[in-house]
Structures are given as structure tokens and as C-alpha cells.
Amino acid sequence: MKTTALNIHDFSPHLFWDIDLDGFDIENHLEFLVQRVMGYGLMKDWMLIYRELGIDKIAELATHIRELDEKSLYFIMALSGKRKEDFKCFTTQQSNPKHWSF
């Protein structure tokens, strides 16, 4: 049973350069979808997930994402009220520091 009305073909094509869109199941890959939209999406892509999922669900999915850029992390923190320690991308980043910061 489908719980969202999201259609993968409604999103910007550049978000999914590396996957087969016809075989993509949004229901089973919501985390992946949120990660791509937050990292590379346009405002229309953000509005699609925001209208369908809501900020609480997006924030919950984002807490499980291992790799999320800093801008996206602070954006979702500001909207959801969550602490950066709640996000896996922050705790993973702390245990694996980068050598260079460009």
C-alpha cells in the first residue's frame, strides 16, 4: 500500500543521474530521496517533499543520513528545532575528521 503521492518523475532529473528511475521505489528509499533533495535539489524539489512529508518526517529521515553537507544540516536544524547531535551526519563527522577544510 502506497503512503505517499510522490512521483520520482516530478523531481529534477539531475538528482538521480546514477539510478534507474523506472525501478526506483520511493517508499523504500525516502531517506535517499531526502538526502538528494537537500544536497542537490531545487526549491521545487524541496517543496514537493515538504508538502507530502512535512518538516517533522523530513527531519526524522535526515537524522539517519550519514552524509549531509553542513549547509543542509543547519537548514534542517533551523526548521525542525533538532540539535546537531541528533543527526548521524554530525556524529559520524566527529569520529572521522577531514584533513583539509576548503
Residue 91 located in a structural domain: yes
> Could you tell me if residue 2 is inside a domain?
no
- Determine, yes or no, domain membership for 6: no
Decide if 41 is inside a domain. Answer: yes
Residue 46: per-residue pLDDT: 94
- Angle at which helix 70-80 crosses helix 43-62, to 10 degrees, equals 80
pTM of the predicted model, to two decimals?
0.78
Using 50 as the pLDDT threshold, list the residues of the chain that sit under it: 1-2
Residue 66 falls within a domain, yes or no?
yes
Q: Which residues contact 27 (CB under 8 A, 6 or more apart)?
A: 2, 3, 4
Query: Cα–Cα distance between 39 and 34 in angstroms, integer?
Result: 8
Name the domain count of the chain: 1
Give the list of residues 6+ apart from residue 29 with CB closer than 8 angstroms, or none: none
Domain that holds residue 90: 26-95
In a domain, 60, yes or no: yes
pLDDT given for residue 93 in this prediction: 58
**Which pLDDT belongs to residue 23?**
85
For the record, the C-alpha cell of 58 comes out as 523530513
Q: Is 54 in a helix, a strand, or coil?
A: helix
